[in-house]
Amino acid sequence: MNKLKNFWRVFTKSIGSISYYKDVARAKFSFSLKYLYFLLFLIALLSGIVSAVKLSYLIPKIPEYKESIKSQALNFYPKELIVTIKNQKITTNVTEPYFVGSFAVIDTKIAPADFSKFPNKAIVGDSFIAVPDSSGNEGYRLISLTDYLKNVPNNTQFNQKDYLAVVNKLLPYLNYLPTIAYYLITIALFVLPFLVAGFTLLGRMFTLLFSSLALLILAKIMKRDLNYGKIYQLSLHALTIPVVLTFVSVYFVFPVAWLNTVIFLAYMIPVIASWEIRESHTPGV
């Protein structure tokens, strides 16, 4: 409890007291490092709790989802459709373009220029699959099947019976969904917070290598008695609000990149300005 009280004190002063940064400068570097890691850990833990709560609400619905997935999987492949691999190309026995559900179409004679005829649909060609571009620019990403088709014996056929044989082998794995959900909850609460905090800390520390150098140049221009190491340590505390903002932006979508930079500088520039001016003495005077 005392550690939490001490953390809260450091947290509030890192946000609300420019003069507190002089106390930080007198502390060991490990003090500031532990503070930022614990802040990142608490935020990662809070994210884990949110994820765990969402998963716990989904668990009772898993049987319903499982039946829905099973029904869609079993009824997905059309009874009349036979796909044949001939001369390393895909052919079918149906009139093309042939629509499979609401999201895919088979057209083994289509040219890339005609992809726009089937917006928002995956397109199966004679030796490729074209997937709508996730960036939303109305383009397509081509996945070549040439290397795969080279290894398929000529005149190999695939029909509904073959499809169901594969699906029926996979469906039993749906029974593990509740167990997987409980594992995910456990990981979200007891594993990920440590890992996420550690990797995020490394990323933040790497970024500070460059921003602290820029701030050191500013300190030199302002003739403040600060070295690179102390500026770096003070910067760990000035990251408090940017770190919290980054977490909040996940749930309330707004741009944080430029805002984080502004807030970081809004703390560090006054901190540097409040520092003692470096005294310079001319020899013999």
Chain segment 199-210, per-residue pLDDT in tens: 999 999 999 999
| Listed residues 111, 132, 158: the one ending a domain | 158
d(CA 225, CA 153): 76
| Listed residues 158, 180, 211: the one ending a domain | 158
Q: What is the average pLDDT value for the chain, to the nearest integer?
A: 92
Sequence-separated contacts (24+) of 163-170 with Cβ below 8 Å: 163/76, 163/77, 164/74, 164/77, 167/73, 167/74, 170/73
pLDDT score of 205: 97
Q: Environment class of residue 279 by beta-carbon count within 10 Å: exposed (0-12), middle (13-18) or buried (19+)?
A: exposed
Q: What is the mean pLDDT of residues 151-173?
A: 95
> Can you give the residue range of the structural domain that contains 116?
82-158
| Greater pLDDT, 136 or 140 | 140
| Residue 65 located in a structural domain | no
Q: How many CA atoms lie within 13 A of 103 on its CB side?
A: 4
pLDDT at 160 over 50: yes
Strand runs labelled E in 74-139: 83-86, 89-92, 98-100, 104-106, 122-124, 128-132
pLDDT score of 112: 87
| Residue 94 located in a structural domain | yes
pLDDT at 109 over 90: yes
| Residue 132 located in a structural domain | yes
Q: What is the mean pLDDT of residues 154-174?
A: 95
Q: What is the mean pLDDT of residues 222-238?
A: 96
Chain segment 49-100, per-residue pLDDT in tens: 999 999 999 999 999 999 999 999 999 999 999 999 999 999 999 999 999 9
pLDDT score of 134: 67
pLDDT score of 224: 94
Q: How confident is the model at residue 257 (pLDDT cuts 50, 70, 90)?
A: confident
Read off the pTM.
0.77
Shared-domain flag, residues 151 and 87: yes
Percent of the chain with pLDDT strictly greater than 90: 82
Sequence-separated contacts (24+) of 183-187 with Cβ below 8 Å: 184/51, 184/55, 185/51, 185/52, 185/55, 185/56
Of the candidates 120, 83, 116, 113, which has an alpha carbon nearest to the alpha carbon of residue 98? Answer: 83
pLDDT score of 172: 94
pLDDT at 283 over 50: no
Q: Say what the alpha-carbon torsion angle 206, 207, 210, 216 is, to the nearest 10 degrees.
A: -100
Q: What is the mean pLDDT of residues 218-246?
A: 95
| Residue 7 located in a structural domain | yes
Chain segment 166-190, per-residue pLDDT in tens: 999 999 999 999 999 999 999 999 9
| Listed residues 158, 182, 216: the one ending a domain | 158
| Residue 254 located in a structural domain | yes
91 alpha-carbon distance from chain centroid: 39
| Residue 163 located in a structural domain | no
Shared-domain flag, residues 94 and 150: yes
pLDDT at 238 over 80: yes
pLDDT at 281 over 50: no
Shared-domain flag, residues 146 and 89: yes
| Residue 167 located in a structural domain | no
pLDDT at 137 over 70: no
Shared-domain flag, residues 136 and 197: no
- SS3 category, 284: coil
Shared-domain flag, residues 152 and 211: no
d(CA 231, CA 77): 63
pLDDT score of 284: 39
Q: Provide the domain count of the chain.
A: 2
| Residue 252 located in a structural domain | yes
pLDDT at 282 over 50: no
Helix (H) or strand (E) holding 35: helix 29-58
